[in-house]
Chain A
């Protein structure tokens, strides 16, 4: 359960960027969560929304996209995604950590172990119609 610490990092980055860009409001936060992280997206989003209360991003819509794993096999040089294991024993499909081609080699993870903010969508003073 380290969703909260990850969400704290995200909240800080969002607020810092919003301040730098002189945002009056953050409308949307786009997240990318890697398939190989131990992060539950729903928990990350829950904590992030909590941590952004009373900030410029308080009302932001938070959207996430899962980034598929990409691995390289050190034996047969396969590069690509992992096979997915559908086992009724588990409630969700899990990527199988075995080379999809040769089934033998050790795998190096190339993608899918990060959780990042890909972008934020903001409003600045110029976007708000003058009230006069």
Chain B
């Protein structure tokens, strides 16, 4: 019997992180700022990107990569607001990874200076796979209930900006926006929290400020 040490072999997760660093370098060289938008299913990621694209189209040339299992619904919605979009069909995969992005980025990278990457709706898997974006943002909404932050701490620890969406429904849902914000701050004191009602456009200015755009 022979024991073969394999510690120097590269792991999948480490390989993803290295690829993410390469993507980030490449985007920076082309003068593109990039934001990875993660969040729960139905929390309002696409609506927020529509509102951001509409508001920022005068100041930035915007591109968006939308990750979804099969449909182009999200990419089409964002495209209506003037952004250059490309759909990444992940098939059965529950998250985007740096490998997907390394192929897709060339589809939109010409003549843009701001790139949004909309991840697959999921608060678990995307945390394991950084994509090489400058900033990571996570979206939850009050309709998902009061424990979304407590149950998924790492994705908030990873996030530079966290959005609590659909705040107008908080009372009906009997969910405290203040408690959700306190949960985020406990896990990650430096994460900037923005309360929004994206459909009505409320909180967009605060979000733009939090993202430094």
Question: Which residues in A have some Cβ–Cβ distance to B below 8 Å?
Answer: 1-2, 5-6, 8-10, 13-14, 17, 21, 27, 36-39, 89-90, 94, 96-98, 104-107, 113-124, 127
Bound complex: CA of A96 vs CA of B189, how far in Å?
Answer: 13
Q: Mark B88-125, 1 if CB is under 8 A from A, else 0.
A: 00000111000000000000000000000000000011
B-side interface residues, number (CB < 8 Å)? 33
Q: List 18 A-B contacts (CB under 8 A).
A: A2-B93, A5-B93, A17-B9, A38-B125, A89-B150, A97-B153, A97-B188, A98-B186, A106-B189, A106-B190, A107-B157, A117-B6, A119-B6, A119-B7, A122-B1, A122-B2, A123-B2, A127-B1
Residues of B contacting A38 in the complex (Cβ-Cβ under 8 angstroms): 124-125, 127-128, 154
Q: What residues of B have a CB within 8 angstroms of the CB of A116 in the complex? A: 6-7, 9, 11, 14
Q: Which residues of the other chain, B, contact A17 by a CB distance below 8 angstroms? A: 4, 6, 9
> Within 8 Å of chain A (Cβ to Cβ): is B3?
yes
Q: Which residue of A lies closest to B129 (CB)?
A: A2
A116–B6 Cα distance when bound, in Å, is 8
Give the residues in chain B near A98, CB-CB below 8 Å: 186-187
Is B29 an interface residue, CB under 8 A from the partner? no
Number of A-B contacts (CB under 8 A): 93
Across the interface, do A113 and B2 meet the contact criterion of CB distance under 8 Å? no
Task: Let me know if B1 and A121 touch, CB within 8 A.
Answer: yes
Determine how close the nearest CB of chain B comes to the CB of A56; give it in whole angstroms. Answer: 13
Contacts of A13 in B (CB 8 A): 6, 9
A96 to B187, CA, bound (A): 8
Majority secondary structure of chain A interface residues (helix, strand, loop or mixed): mixed
Residues of chain A with a CB closer than 8 A to B6's CB: 13-14, 17, 116-120
* Chain B positions 139 through 153: 1 when the CB is less than 8 Å from some CB of chain A, otherwise 0: 000000001001101
Return chain B residues, CB-CB under 8 Å to A9: 11-12, 15
Q: How far is the CA of A92 from the CA of B151 in the complex (A)?
A: 11
Q: How far is the CA of A97 from the CA of B152 in the complex (A)?
A: 10
Inter-chain CA distance A126–B185, complex, in Å, is 60
Tell me whether B14 and A1 are in contact (CB under 8 A): no
* A120-B4 contact given A1-B94, A97-B188, CB 8 Å threshold: yes
* Contact partners of A96 in chain B: CB under 8 A: 153
Interface check B173, CB cutoff 8 A: no
- The distance from the CB of A15 to the nearest CB of chain B, in whole angstroms, is 12
Knowing A6-B12, A115-B12, the reply to whether A122 touches B4 (Cβ < 8 A) is: yes
Asked if B73 CB lies within 8 Å of chain A CBs, one says no
Q: Does B13 contact A (CB under 8 A)?
A: yes
